[in-house]
Amino acid sequence: MLQSIPLEYYLIISAVIFIIGSIGVITRRNAIIIFMSIELMLNAVNLTLVSFSSFLGDVSGQIFVFFVMSVAAAEAAIGLAIILALFRSKQTIYVDEVNLLKW
């Protein structure tokens, strides 16, 4: 069952998701799209952890995925609150139009 797909395939899928997410973080300007790309990267790391954990036969890796998910939920709440506060004060969520700290 599990062995019919080698471990490397899962790892390559997660690497490709991570790379797509990092392209999004680098090239997009919209803060919410950047946010979604960060979620993609977190998902890729979770997929790596789960595939290692399953092929090792040890559930400890899935505990770490659980903690990563809880931190991701906290990050989503805080991040969207910051984006909303930003939109309220600057009327934009494009990260290159927010240059208060630029000199």
Residues 72-101 that bind another protein (CB under 8 A): 72-78, 80-85, 87-88, 91, 93-94, 96
Q: How far apart are CA 17 and CA 8, in angstroms?
A: 14
d(CA 103, CA 87): 22
The only residue of 57, 100, 101, 102 in contact with another protein, by rule CB under 8 A: 57
List CB contacts of 53: < 8 A, sequence separation 6 or more. Answer: 59, 60, 61, 62, 65
Q: Which is nearer to another protein, 70 or 99 (CB)?
A: 70
| Binding of residue 9 to another protein (CB under 8 A) | yes
Q: How far is the CB of 44 from another protein (least distance, A)?
A: 8
